[in-house]
Amino acid sequence: MTKTESRDILDSLIGVLQNRKNNPSEKSYTATLFARGEEKICEKISEEAAEVVEAAFAKDENSRQHLVHEAADLVFHLMVLLVHKGLSLEEVRGELARRFGTSGLEEKAGRNR
């Protein structure tokens, strides 16, 4: 898979997620997440993040593929949250572009929170 195809899969996935939100089906896991709301979606993100950390520390022969699998689960659930909140990948890409080339320490210190 090329970098362009990888980017396209994220855009395609956002389209599918938006469709599941707008046209829910009882057979759709994603539609079920949307129906259960922000709390459930965030719970799944927390669960998947913990699984990513666990996979990162694994030392077995399948650890690399396991980490990729768990990272994909985390990205998926994060994208569900973005769609739930009406946010786009372009907004996230824009924020990453804004930060690009800036020290993470400087960027964090400059936040208005």
Q: Is the pLDDT reported for residue 76 higher than 90?
A: yes
What gap in Å lies between CA 104 and CA 55, rounded to an integer? 25
In this prediction, residues 58-84 reach a mean pLDDT of 96
Residues 22-45: tens digit of each pLDDT: 999 999 999 999 999 999 999 999
Count of residues in the chain: 113
Three-class DSSP category at 74: helix
Query: Taking Cα atoms as reference points, which of 74, 83, 73 lies closest to residue 37?
Result: 83
Residue 40 is which amino acid?
K
Q: Give the pLDDT band (50/70/90) at residue 6.
A: low
Q: Is the pLDDT reported for residue 3 higher than 70?
A: no
